[in-house]
Every structure is written in C-alpha cells, then in structure tokens.
Structure 1
Amino acid sequence: MAQLNRRILIVDDYEESCKLLSEILSSTYECYYTSDSTKAFSLVTEKKPDLILLDYKMPGLMGIDICKMIRENESTKNTPIIFVSGAATIDEKIRAFEQGADDFISKPFHVKELILRIKARLSEKDQDLGAELQAANLRMNLLSRQVFVGGEEVQLTPKQFDILKMLVSNKNNLVTRERCLDEIWGDTEVTSRNVDSQINYLKRKINKFHGKILAVPSLGYRLEVQD
C-alpha cells in the first residue's frame, strides 16, 4: 500500500519514463507525474510533494528552470529534488546543483540505487524535524532550513545550507573537503574547487556571524566560535 503521507512528483518529457518510474515507486509512495514541463510548477504547488524527480533536458522548461522556480518559492523551497537524467555533462550537473538540486542520478540507473537515494533524502527530512543548531549568534532551523544571523534571516542555497550544517555540527573541528564531497555531493563528479567556491559564497552571506570559517591548508575548513 502506498504511504499516503509520502508524495513523489515525477517530471519527464517522455511519458513512458514517467509511467515506468511511477510503477517502480507506487507500491511505496503516492506518485504523480507530468510530461509537460510547463505544468510542473503548478503541480508542485497543488500536490505539495515530499520529493521531486526531475528530468534535466526538456522542451518548454528545462529542469534547472523548474528547480530554480521551486527554490525561489517560499512554500516549496525546501522540497528535496533529485534529477534523473541521461547523457548529462559535468557542467550540466554542476548547474543543477547550483540551482538547488539535492542529488543527480544518471540514466540508465539501477532501481535499487534510485530507491535508496529517495529513502536517504526523505530520511534526512524526517531527522530534521524540530531540530535546531546554534553557534554564537547564528541559528539554523533544520525543519524549515532557515538560517538566522543576529536575528536576521540569511538566504542560502541548499548546498550552502548543508555545508554550514556540517561546519556548525562539527564546530571548532576540522571538516575535510573529501568529507564535504562525499556527504553533500555524493557520487556526483565535482572537485574540491566546488567546495571552496561554495565556502566563499557562504562566508560573504554570513558576514555578520560572530565567528569564523577558517581554511585549514590542504585539508578543509573549520568553523571557529566561542559560545
């Protein structure tokens, strides 16, 4: 029986791909799909899915355009998004993550891998319920995925939020680039330069934080704070 409290929206311009994914997942989740990318965002706001499976290359609206719309909307911005797409280049994958993707699975994929990644993203969402992290004047609400510095909200991308969460959870201790790549980017083929780039953006956004994100040469970063 489908878990009615777990809704998955599938967006792919090939209707057969939508049907296949829906058949694979419908024994566990309540699935909806559309092959018309221009209708995707209205379905997101209507169905309020717990997770979205999104194709990258589509006529009408590209997957990254839909992803951006979801992240910029207050009511949908925290919905996990997994891209499921074929023949994507490294640059395309990076652009997807920059627009807010949580994961990227290349076609052809193994069904078990897809299911495990979906479970992992939904599990992360469950674990975040009611949780909060704090360091000096910085506060992270892990349910709403909001960040406040000195009482003022700071807008972060999903990847920047995840990096900051890792740093705050390990405050005053080293977080290696390799750990960031492994736990935040997963199997996506990106380099340590992507970590450095996101850290630099993060520093600028939380510039009123009463602490520091320090680079540990050749290793990674440490969030230094006196609570």
Structure 2
Amino acid sequence: MNALINETPFRGEDLTAKKIVIVDDYEESCKLLAEILSSTYECSYTSDSNAAVKLINDKKPDLILLDYKMPGMMGVDVCRVIRENESTKNTPIIFVSGAATIDERIKAFETGADDFISKPFHVKELILRIKARLNDKEPEMASELTAANLRMNLLSRQVFVDGEEVNLTPKQFDILKLLVAGKNNLVTREKCLTEIWGDTEVTSRNVDSQINYLKRKINKFNGRIVAVPSLGYRLESQE
C-alpha cells in the first residue's frame, strides 16, 4: 500500500491555529475528518501507519487522531512509540475506530490513549472531545476584550465604542467577539458558522448579512472589518 500523506490547508491560514494529525488507513476517513476540522484546526493526515511517526515528529501536533486497526503498525504500536518519544509523550491521543472490542479499548488506554471514540460518531461529540483535550475554552478570568476605542464586556454582553453603548443582537455580539479576539487575523466564515450557529442549517450568507449590520452599528470604531475574498473577515484595529 502506498503511503498517503497530505496536509490539508487551514482555510484561515491562522498561524496560531492548533495542529492535528490524523492517522487512518482508510483514505476517505482521513479526508472526512480533515474536512470536518480544517475550518478551525490545521490538519495533516496519513493513511500509512509506518509513515505516521515521521509525520507526527515533523508536524509536532497539539493532538493526534489515531485509528486502532491498521495494516503494518497497529494504532496501539504507533501510540506506544509516541509515548516513548520525549518530544511527543504528552501529546493528547484520541483513538477513532470502529468495531473495537472492550479488550482493544482497554489496551488502547493502557498504551497511553487519552480518549476513544467509536465509529460512527456524532460530529459535535468529536469536536467537543477534541476541545476538551486541547483545553479550547475561554480563560475564566477573561471578562473584557478591547480593540482601539471598542470595548466588549463578556460578562454583561455589552459593547461600547468611545464609551457609548452599541446595541447588538446575540449573533452580532458573538461574531464581533470572534473578530476582536482574533484582531488583525482572519476569522473564517466556517468558524463563525460552527461556533455561533452550531448544527443549525444556515449558509455563509447569514454571516455576511450579520457582518453588514455589524459594520453599520459600530461605524465610530477606529478600525474596520474587511472581507477576505472567499474566506471570511478580518478586524483591523488602529491602536
């Protein structure tokens, strides 16, 4: 079997995006997982377990998604090598595998797995488990975001421009929060849809519409929200 190694570009090209390596001998599973996650994370994958260790050492990911049953090195063998390597021993590993017996699940945890998700899985469950392992949560102490003359109180959900309160809808507040938190960096439409609308079936036009309303409401902001063609938006702040 020829090795398939592919780096799926993170659509936002955000250099701060956390990295995930996906290892699964079934190419379509790799592509599916990468497609699900690439709007938020920088994803790389391989369908060859023998190439997995090198890919992981090269990419130094923040998390690894690993299949259990693979030709060549089994998932638990890859896991063992990762845990024995000083530079990767603490990297979270989530097994994503189908038809695993209880003994196989136990062996995975004994080898060093942090979590085990059985196929078929619910996308939201997968994302929540990944976030839990990456601690992808807002810092509890963070109560305010600022950009130039704009201030957001995250506790009261109020927005002020030059000290004057601006009334936003819940969706507009959440979009602005993403933009201010990532100021001067791209925020993709996919990220907005995933984090704000969740499983609700809407399109990127909903994001564009809310952005247009938002621009008008914060027109006294000393900065601007600019569109990045085909990708999303970036809040540029004049500090």
The bucket for the TM-score relative to the shorter chain is 0.5 to 0.7
Alignment of 1:32-71 (within 5 A): 32-71=44-83
Q: Secondary structure at the match of 2:15?
A: strand
Contact between 1:3 and 1:28, CA under 8 Å: does it hold in 2? Answer: no
Q: 1:90 to 1:30 in 2, by over 3 A?
A: same
| Unaligned residue ranges in structure 2 (runs of 5+) | 1-11, 140-239
Which residues in structure 2 correspond to 1:203-222 (within 5 Å)? none
Say yes or no: does 1:84 pair with 2:96.
yes
Residue number among 34, 56, 69 corresponding to 1:22 in the alignment: 34
SS of the residue 2:131 aligns to: helix
Given that 2:131 and 2:137 are in contact with CA atoms closer than 8 Å, whether structure 1 keeps it comes out as no
TM-align CA RMSD:
1.8
CA–CA separation in structure 1 for the residues paired with 2:46 and 2:137: 24
1:29-178 aligned at under 5 Å gives the runs 29-123=41-135
Sequence identity percentage: 78
Gap regions ≥5 residues in structure 1 = 128-227
Answer yes or no: is the 8 Å Cα contact 1:2–1:26 preserved in 2. Answer: no
SS at match of 2:53: helix
Give deviations 1:147-191, integer Å, cap 9, x for gaps.
xxxxxxxxxxxxxxxxxxxxxxxxxxxxxxxxxxxxxxxxxxxxx
Q: Give the letter for the 1:116 counterpart.
A: L
Match of residue 15, structure 2, among 4, 28, 48:
4
Alpha-carbon distance in structure 2 between the residues aligned to 1:60 and 1:119: 30
Three-state SS of the structure 2 residue aligned to 1:4 is coil
TM-superposition CA deviations, 1:27-78 (whole Å, max 9, x none): 0000000001100000110000000000000001100000000000001100
Task: Return the offset for 1:111.
Answer: 0.2
Paired residue type of 1:4? L
Q: Which amino acid in the other structure matches residue 29 of structure 2?
A: S
Distance 2:58 2:112 in 1: 21
Higher Rg: 2
Q: CA deviation at 1:4?
A: 3.4
Which AA in structure 1 matches 2:72? Answer: G
| Aligned-residue offset at 1:124 | 7.7
Q: CA deviation at 1:2?
A: 5.4
The structural deviation recorded for 1:122 is: 0.2
Q: Normalising by structure 2, what TM-score?
A: 0.51
